[in-house]
Structure formats: structure tokens, C-alpha cells
């Protein structure tokens, strides 16, 4: 019987810089790390979002998500065996 186990892990850090000290409404979020990784036997990092995201929305790093057709097909195949 095939191994239908998937592993989910994350390691995420973030910080907020306030343009006006003490005013949280002026905060800008920067996040980095491995936001989400889904892997399984023989699949490697099937779904993986890692890197750094800046306040303007710019992301540098890896971005393989559930909505990518090849990732969705591999995920379904892994779960169905």
C-alpha cells in the first residue's frame, strides 16, 4: 500500500515598522521564512512558500502553491494513492 502521508510545516518571522511611533495604523509588515511547506515521500516540497515579503507586496523566494495545476495534480495523486 502506498504511503499517503503528507507533512505540513512552517517557520515564519515578521516585524512591523511604525511610520509614526505608537500609531499601529501606520505599520508596515515585512515577513520572512518558510511560510508553508507541504511535502511527502518522493514529492519533495510539493507546495512551498518561502522567502521574504516586503510591505509593498514584493516577494522574493519560492512560490509553489495549491492553485498551480502541477502541484494540485501531485497533491491529489499522493492522497489517492
Per-residue pLDDT averaged across 11-35, rounded?
Answer: 93
Could you tell me the pTM of the whole model? 0.62
Q: Sort strands 7-18 and 27-40 into parallel, antiparallel or unpaired.
A: antiparallel
- Where are the alpha helices (H) located in the chain, listed in sequence order? 69-80
Taking every pair of C-alpha atoms in the chain, what is the biggest distance, in angstroms?
Answer: 59
Q: Per-residue confidence at 2, pLDDT binned at 50, 70, 90?
A: low
The whole-angstrom distance between residue 49's C-alpha and the CA centroid of its chain comes to 3
Which is higher by pLDDT, 74 or 29?
29
pLDDT tens per residue across span 51-76 = 999 999 999 998 877 666 777 777 77
Per-residue pLDDT averaged across 9-34, rounded?
Answer: 93
Distances (CA, A) of 18 to 54, 60, 66: 14, 23, 33
Amino acid at each position: 500500500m502506498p504511503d499517503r502521508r503528507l507533512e505540513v510545516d512552517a517557520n515564519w518571522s515578521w516585524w512591523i515598522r511604525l511610520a509614526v511611533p505608537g500609531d499601529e495604523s501606520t505599520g508596515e509588515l515585512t515577513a520572512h521564512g518558510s511560510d508553508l511547506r507541504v511535502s511527502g515521500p518522493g514529492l519533495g516540497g510539493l507546495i512551498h512558500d518561502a522567502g521574504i515579503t516586503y510591505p509593498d507586496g514584493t516577494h522574493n523566494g519560492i512560490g509553489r502553491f495549491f492553485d498551480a495545476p502541477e502541484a494540485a495534480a501531485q497533491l491529489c495523486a499522493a492522497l489517492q494513492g
